[in-house]
Structure 1
Amino acid sequence: MNWKKWCLTIGASAWLAVAAPQFAHAAEHEDVFIIYKNDAGKQAIEENATAIVKDFEAFKTIEGTFSDDALRILKSDANIQVIEKNATTYETSARYTTADLLSITNLSWSSKMTGITRPWTLGLTGNGVKVGVIDTGVAKVSGMDHVTRLSFVQDNPATSVDESTVYDTENHGTGVAGIITANSVKDGTNTVVGLAPNADVYSLKVFEGDNAEMSTILSAVEWSIENNLTVLNMSLGSAEPDAILERAIKAANAAGVTIIAASGNESSLSALAPVDYPAAYSGVIGVGAVDQQKVRSYFSNVGDTVDFVAPGESLRLLSKSGGIRVDSGTSFAAPHITAMITLLKEKYPTATTAQLQALLKKYSEDLGVSGRDDLYGNGLPNLAAFVTDGKLPTVENEPITPSPGDSDGSGLPIDTDDEAIETKSDAQQFISNNQYKITTWLSAIQEGRKIGLRTKFTPLYSLYSDLASPEKKLVKAYNKKIKTIVTSATTKSTKISATNLTKMASAKTTQIRFTTPIKPSTLTENRVVIYRAGKEVSGFKLTKASSGKAIRLTTTKTLAKGNYVIMIDPTKLKTKTSKAITTPFAIKFTVK
């Protein structure tokens, strides 16, 4: 999947590039942050650290002091994800008051087009709203020192460059974030200033050059959910849909995150291109671009998932050198909408994405044909007439998503009608509550990586019937890749068989027979797991025949309705003749 940044470089004003001073490497490096992938990575860090300052377990990150030799060892370790050798120090910058903002003269045309001075007059500056910018990072330049920077890009051990740096080397993310939150920068007669300058902005770097790996995008979305960000800007895209990213988007939506994305720049003067993903996904606010005359930019993609348009052509943007450059693209239209959503979120902190979108539509200028259209969406938002009457729009047929911490649905309204209320199955409920976890498993499979058989694949396999079609294909392909031997009431195998698969509810026992006898001592109880609806089922007792031809699983518990998977992990499993067994065994049954 080729994820692209949506900008068009059409020119740039001149600026001075100042070379950074070079320093000799010290023998010891303090305040190094290292992200580990697993327990082996954590152990390697602990063994090589001169001193451990803090272990951020929730983020799989350790801060400490390391020698050059230790960093070289860890950089080549496959269990280490990121080494940040020069961690950013964040300082509190001066925050703007209403008087400060209203005293700014000669705002750029793009800022004026949003009617931004009206919400500023009302005291709305983005204060207290947490906004994520998933992009190329933000440069260390004046006017952006209040931005919190994180990188999800993995360092390449084959190079001397620290690819995991949090800073922008592509001249993209700095401009995008600057539209939202830059402190004022003079550009001749114009002043470039963020539309929501007091927002708490988090730069979440996912790009290495022009490409972003799915795993880094997912990590950034996951971090956004875990750290309670409420607005997310994604000025990136792909022409092809991706089931993994779509699931991550749904998980973010369910957590209350409002996502804004660029529609893409693939249209031309002779042909129109459809909206790219993630802007084309339901639950994402898709943004196209217009020029100074409010005419759709020729490159801006179109379709029924364009929600709004915003300034996106010949814009003056903050550059990675600290100067001002001129650029175009839907990448830079999207953060205008992100900033306006941020101001509305400050005023209405409990507003849903649908309510915020409806409110923005209320203050949008209808462009193109009358009403919503595929070129301009709902039009060009302008907050010049914004009124804080304390009322939010009523949205018809708004999807109900649980708020964070309310996954059991206890906070949802009660239906007082006598009609039966459709309820989710246990499997569907598990999927709904574990969107991101499932997404990471599927993403690993899609990228050709191995996942844990007992802890990840087996629960995923138990959910197979309730997965979407593209996800089923991934699970099926992985099953084939690891050569799982499967038997069920409808699927027969020449290597394994099992009894009572159609009557497990009453029998509560099954005998699993192996065509090639196993060595009983090599099959330990922890190597046999049973899952239903994504969750492990306990209470089964394992007994093994001394001949090695069969094992029996028995329970005294009542088995709930659903699809079950018994998985036998072949790790250390051997045949009676001590030949290693490398393929897993899966026994499937359904309790109705």
Structure 2
Amino acid sequence: MTWPRVSIAMVALAAITLVAPSRSEADPSRGPQWHVGYLRIGAAHAVNEGDGVVVAVPDSGVDPHPDLRNNVLAGVDVIPGGVGDGRRDEDGHGTGMAGLIAAHGHGDREGAIGVAPRAKILPIYASPPHQDGDSEALAEAVEYAVSRHVDVISISAAGGAGTRLQQAVKEAIQADIVVVAGAGNTTRSSLVGYPASEPGVIAVGGVDSHGNHAAISVTGPQIDVVAPAVEIYSTGINGGYRVGTGTSDATAIVAGAAALIRSKFPNLPAQEVAHRLTATAIDKGPPGRDDEYGYGVIDLVAALTADIPPLGFETPSITAPPATAAEEENDGNSTARGLVTLGVLLAAGGGYLVWRRRRRGDDPPPRISR
């Protein structure tokens, strides 16, 4: 069983070094970082830039890129082959994800910009370069992130639900950490992978530059929100840049959004962070939640500024159908939406999780894909 990372950049584009855009080119949607203008990241930064938040990135490590200078903490290697602290990347995938979260450019108007440029990255080397990883290494990475009391864990990978990994993810959720994970790519599976399918994890799908469902992104009842996932420009290895396509990139962008919210509202529980993301998402597809877009495309500015009533726990039965957009506008509670966002879709997703768990005890750990 494979567990690949959920970006195809490693296949075709990870080694490409591109000319860095100027900040003036990156901010509008016409620049290489089209998602920056599309998501109004500049306007979001006028409200908050992610100060005081730590985002764990279990991946291929993070290269000490100029656009991430002073933003990358000493982390850890959970598999052999690194330098011991997660701050080396021979693949480019982890560095790209870190840049989408927290890049701040270099010089006055040079380089890439992330969603939360003042957030800190905790790099965890958990996936070998240009290869699939396994669930045991990812589980150890999540356990380490929990021990470091991070605010957000960004998992740009999808695959099978090994027992240790399930336990680690559940412990992260219980520790009030926002866990964000990619739904997976259609090149590997048609099902939402693990840990995106875990209740309580924010499951992320993708859209293209027109805001339409990205063909690379899997669909399913577990999808919570979507974000840009096609030709996403970010930091790469050796001081260069990379372009990636897949739900990996969308996941890192949503993790950056979670970092902004945790910075702006430091006392907000992880459940409320997820609720704020879905309650302010821009609805796409059929009214209300659907399997392609979840609750819609993340809206950074609204997530930071909207008056969102807290998630209630006196909600009706979880089997009730999700409210339509019109109903939610007239209902200040939004509790049904928030609970579905938190992954309480046992009827829809339970069969998949059970299927994933039906492995012999002596089987090797499931692989992970990026």
Quickly name the TM-score band, shorter chain normalised.
Answer: 0.7 to 0.9
**Corresponding residue number in structure 1 for 2:61:** 137
**Corresponding residue number in structure 2 for 1:112:** 37
Q: Quote the Cα distance in structure 2 between the aligned partners of 1:204 and 1:198.
A: 19
Name the % identity: 27
**Corresponding residue number in structure 2 for 1:310:** 227
CA 1:280 to 1:165, structure 2 compared with 1: closer, same or farther past 3 Å? closer
Matching of residue 338 in structure 1 with residue 259 in structure 2: no
CA 1:265 to 1:395, structure 2 compared with 1: closer, same or farther past 3 Å? same
Q: Quote the Cα distance in structure 1 between the aligned partners of 2:76 and 2:223.
A: 29
Contact (CA 8 Å) 2:67, 2:111: kept in 1 or not? no
Contact (CA 8 Å) 1:171, 1:320: kept in 2 or not? yes
Q: Shift of residue 15 of structure 1?
A: 3.2
**Corresponding residue number in structure 1 for 2:193:** 276
Q: Quote the Cα distance in structure 1 between the aligned partners of 2:306 and 2:113.
A: 27
CA 1:105 to 1:356, structure 2 compared with 1: closer, same or farther past 3 Å? closer
TM-score by length of 2: 0.75
Contact (CA 8 Å) 2:226, 2:296: kept in 1 or not? yes
Contact (CA 8 Å) 2:7, 2:247: kept in 1 or not? yes
Deviations 1:364-383 (A, max 9, x none): 11111111000110100112
**Which structure 2 residues correspond to residues 10-89 of structure 1 after superposition, within 5 A?**
11=13, 15=17
Paired residue type of 1:292: S
Deviations 1:170-222 (A, max 9, x none): 11000001001112169xx9952011011121111101231324332222212
Q: Quote the Cα distance in structure 1 between the aligned partners of 2:174 and 2:310.
A: 20
Paired residue type of 1:110: H
Contact (CA 8 Å) 1:152, 1:219: kept in 2 or not? no
Can you give the 5+ residue segments of structure 2 that lack an aligned partner in the other structure?
316-355, 364-370
Can you give the 5+ residue segments of structure 1 that lack an aligned partner in the other structure?
17-100, 399-468, 479-592
Q: Quote the Cα distance in structure 2 between the aligned partners of 1:275 and 1:252.
A: 20
**Corresponding residue number in structure 2 for 1:219:** 140
CA 1:13 to 1:4, structure 2 compared with 1: closer, same or farther past 3 Å? closer
Runs of 4+ deviating beyond 3 Å:
10-16, 101-107, 161-166, 384-392, 395-398, 469-474
Q: Shift of residue 232 of structure 1?
A: 0.4
CA 1:111 to 1:13, structure 2 compared with 1: closer, same or farther past 3 Å? farther
**Corresponding residue number in structure 2 for 1:454:** none
Paired residue type of 1:177: A
CA 1:274 to 1:185, structure 2 compared with 1: closer, same or farther past 3 Å? farther
**Structure 2 counterpart SS, 1:364:** coil
Larger RCO of the pair (alpha carbons < 8 Å, separation 6+): 2
**Which structure 2 residues correspond to residues 242-253 of structure 1 after superposition, within 5 A?**
242-253=162-173
CA 1:164 to 1:3, structure 2 compared with 1: closer, same or farther past 3 Å? farther
Matching of residue 193 in structure 1 with residue 113 in structure 2: yes
**Which structure 2 residues correspond to residues 129-168 of structure 1 after superposition, within 5 A?**
129-146=53-70, 147-155=72-80, 166-168=87-89
Q: Quote the Cα distance in structure 2 between the aligned partners of 1:316 and 1:8.
A: 13
**Corresponding residue number in structure 1 for 2:289:** 372
Deviations 1:486-534 (A, max 9, x none): xxxxxxxxxxxxxxxxxxxxxxxxxxxxxxxxxxxxxxxxxxxxxxxxx
CA 1:339 to 1:332, structure 2 compared with 1: closer, same or farther past 3 Å? same
Task: Mark the structure with the bigger radius of gyration.
Answer: 1
**Structure 1 counterpart SS, 2:139:** helix
Q: Quote the Cα distance in structure 2 between the aligned partners of 1:153 and 1:2.
A: 19
Q: Quote the Cα distance in structure 2 between the aligned partners of 1:163 and 1:185.
A: 26
Q: Quote the Cα distance in structure 2 between the aligned partners of 1:172 and 1:228.
A: 24
Q: Quote the Cα distance in structure 2 between the aligned partners of 1:304 and 1:217.
A: 24
Deviations 1:57-102 (A, max 9, x none): xxxxxxxxxxxxxxxxxxxxxxxxxxxxxxxxxxxxxxxxxxxx99
Q: Shift of residue 229 of structure 1?
A: 0.6
**Corresponding residue number in structure 2 for 1:202:** 122
**Structure 1 counterpart SS, 2:67:** coil
Q: Shift of residue 104 of structure 1?
A: 7.9
Q: Quote the Cα distance in structure 2 between the aligned partners of 1:395 and 1:171.
A: 41
Q: Quote the Cα distance in structure 2 between the aligned partners of 1:181 and 1:168.
A: 16
**Corresponding residue number in structure 2 for 1:499:** none
**Corresponding residue number in structure 1 for 2:214:** 297
**Which structure 2 residues correspond to residues 486-525 of structure 1 after superposition, within 5 A?**
none
Q: Shift of residue 397 of structure 1?
A: 5.4
Q: Shift of residue 103 of structure 1?
A: 12
Q: RMSD in angstroms over aligned alpha carbons?
A: 3.3
Deviations 1:12-67 (A, max 9, x none): 79538xxxxxxxxxxxxxxxxxxxxxxxxxxxxxxxxxxxxxxxxxxxxxxxxxxx
Contact (CA 8 Å) 2:261, 2:303: kept in 1 or not? no
CA 1:155 to 1:12, structure 2 compared with 1: closer, same or farther past 3 Å? closer
**Corresponding residue number in structure 1 for 2:270:** 353
Q: Quote the Cα distance in structure 1 between the aligned partners of 2:201 and 2:132.
A: 22
CA 1:252 to 1:105, structure 2 compared with 1: closer, same or farther past 3 Å? closer
Q: Quote the Cα distance in structure 1 between the aligned partners of 2:240 and 2:357.
A: 46
Q: Quote the Cα distance in structure 2 between the aligned partners of 1:329 and 1:360.
A: 20
CA 1:169 to 1:384, structure 2 compared with 1: closer, same or farther past 3 Å? same
**Structure 1 counterpart SS, 2:68:** coil
Q: Quote the Cα distance in structure 2 between the aligned partners of 1:15 and 1:103.
A: 17
**Structure 2 counterpart SS, 1:192:** strand
Contact (CA 8 Å) 1:119, 1:386: kept in 2 or not? no
Equivalent residues, number: 312
CA 1:259 to 1:165, structure 2 compared with 1: closer, same or farther past 3 Å? closer
Paired residue type of 2:123: S
Q: Shift of residue 112 of structure 1?
A: 1.8
**Corresponding residue number in structure 1 for 2:341:** none
Q: Quote the Cα distance in structure 2 between the aligned partners of 1:338 and 1:169.
A: 23
CA 1:328 to 1:387, structure 2 compared with 1: closer, same or farther past 3 Å? closer
**Which structure has greater strand proportion?**
1
Contact (CA 8 Å) 1:206, 1:212: kept in 2 or not? yes
CA 1:175 to 1:351, structure 2 compared with 1: closer, same or farther past 3 Å? same
Q: Shift of residue 266 of structure 1?
A: 2.1
Q: Quote the Cα distance in structure 1 between the aligned partners of 2:194 and 2:55.
A: 20
**Which structure has greater helix proportion?**
2
Q: Quote the Cα distance in structure 2 between the aligned partners of 1:392 and 1:343.
A: 18
